[in-house]
Structures are given as C-alpha cells and as structure tokens.
C-alpha cells in the first residue's frame, strides 16, 4: 500500500485544559506544516484552552491566572475568582518584598506602608494592609521603591482590566471599579464583590454571547471548568 498514512486528530485532557494536535504524515521531519504553522516532532503546536478561552477559567492555576492577566488587556468578558486572586496575591507579594522587606533590611523604617485595594497594591491602592513608622530609622526610599514604581506602572492596566472582568463574572457593572477610584471607602465594598462566586448571568458582559446559542448556560462555550469543582 503506497502513500502516506494520516492519523486522525487526537485530544488530550491535562491540568491546563485540552490540547489538540494533528499527527503529521510519515516521512522526513519538517519545521512547519502545510499551512506554515510551526510543528515539533510531527505534532502541531497549540496553546492550551486555559490560555486561549475567552470566558472565565474556573480553578485556574497561579501561572495560568497571571499569564491570562497580562495577555488579556480587555475589559470585555469575565474572569474567575482564581484568575483574579492569584494575580492579586502575586502583586501583593512583590509589593511586600519591595516596599517592606528590602527597606527593613536597609534600615529604612520610617513611613513604611503597604497599600492595597481592588486593583492590588499599586498606584490605585487605597486600603492600608500594613503601616510602620520608626522615627529613628531612615526614611523609606531607595532602589526598591523605584523598581516598585516601574512595576506598578507596568501592571496597572492589566490589574484594572482583570478587576473589571472579575466584577462581570459576578454579574456586577464596571462602574463599581470607577467608584472605588473616586470614593476610596468603596474599595472595601468592591473587594467583597470581587470575592463573590461566578454567576452564569454574567455572560451578558461577553461581547458576542448573543451570537452563541446557549452561551448563558454553565459550561457552555466561552468558559473553561476543571474536572473537579472550580472557583
């Protein structure tokens, strides 16, 4: 029997989502398939669903949550609780190291503060998580503060967009995020809203949900849920 033998596409379910590939025909290895897409060992390279799905990823791992935060710079759509809080926690850890740990080791113990809020401890942080003032020490500052300022500027847009998508997932308007900026006391209220469970009716904030019949049902296209539970 002559000619190349083709295998049907296969799908493998992993912790990151389903990854689909097509096995290339037998013969010499190629760096690209017939459509110019890169291949590796005869398998077409595709990103996992958890990185490309437009809806919320329930039970997202920390690295998936952070990757989606920096690659999805849009306020349209939704984000799950795990997507938001893992990214928020990373932002808080970076801030704690640069604004507290490093200055304390340098003896800069005057006016140490760690602000936070719905958008993390960045430039829009209005909720004081920690405050320390030792007048006998040097004032806060130094290279760590400069590094933090640059970091907070780079992550400001992703954190704001992520918070808005998380509000959408809990079926709340983005106006709550604006209210937290204009009225700092509302930050506590917004933090509570951000901690609420996902609601299927939040699909109304998706751009094209009306074009996808049944998209408002849990588990419909546009949302990715883990095999066991989810947040």
Mean pLDDT is highest, among 111-115, 120-124, 190-194, for: 190-194
Domain boundaries, the chain: 8-46, 56-200
DSSP state letters, 60-87: --HHHHHHHHHH---SSS---HHHHHHH
Q: What is the pLDDT of residue 103?
A: 86
**26: confidence class by pLDDT, cuts 50, 70, 90:** very low
Instruction: Please write the tens of the pLDDT for every residue from 162-216.
Output: 999 999 999 999 999 999 999 988 999 999 999 999 999 999 988 755 455 554 4
DSSP code of 97? I
Structure tokens at 202: 């939040």
Residue 34 clears pLDDT 60, i.e. is over it? no
pLDDT > 90 fraction of the chain, expressed in percent and rounded: 37
222-228 contacts: CB < 8 A, separation 24 or more?
222/53, 222/54, 222/55, 223/53, 223/55, 223/56, 223/57, 223/58, 223/78, 224/17, 224/49, 224/50, 224/53, 224/55, 224/56, 224/57, 224/58, 225/58, 225/59, 226/58, 226/59, 227/13
Q: What is the pLDDT of residue 216?
A: 44
Cβ proximity of 216 and 200 under 8 Å: yes
Q: Which of 23-27, 184-188, 210-214, 225-229 has the lowest mean pLDDT?
A: 23-27
Residue 36 clears pLDDT 90, i.e. is over it? no
Continuous segment of H or E residues that includes residue 190: helix 186-194
Cross-strand partners of 13: 18
């Amino acid at each position: 029997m002559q000619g190349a033998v083709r295998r049907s596409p296969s799908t493998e379910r992993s912790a990151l989502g389903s990854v689909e590939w097509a096995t290339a025909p037998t013969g010499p290895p190629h760096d690209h398939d017939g459509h110019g897409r890169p291949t590796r060992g005869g398998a077409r390279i595709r990103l996992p669903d958890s990185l490309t799905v437009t809806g919320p990823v329930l039970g997202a791992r920390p690295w998936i949550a952070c990757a989606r935060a920096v690659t999805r710079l849009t306020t349209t759509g939704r984000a799950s609780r795990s997507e938001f809080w893992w990214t928020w926690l990373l932002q808080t850890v970076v801030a704690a190291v640069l604004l507290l740990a490093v200055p304390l080791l340098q003896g800069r113990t005057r006016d140490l503060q760690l602000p936070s809020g719905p958008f993390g401890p960045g430039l829009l942080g209005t909720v004081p998580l920690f405050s320390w003032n030792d007048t006998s020490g040097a004032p806060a500052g130094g290279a760590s503060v400069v590094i933090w300022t640059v970091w907070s500027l780079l992550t400001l847009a992703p954190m704001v967009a992520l918070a808005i998508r998380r509000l959408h997932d809990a079926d709340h308007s983005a106006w709550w995020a604006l209210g937290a900026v204009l009225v700092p006391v509302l930050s506590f209220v917004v933090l509570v809203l951000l901690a609420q469970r996902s609601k299927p009716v939040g699909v109304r904030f998706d751009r094209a949900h009306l074009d996808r019949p049944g998209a408002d049902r849990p588990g419909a296209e546009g949302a990715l849920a883990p095999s066991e539970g989810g947040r």
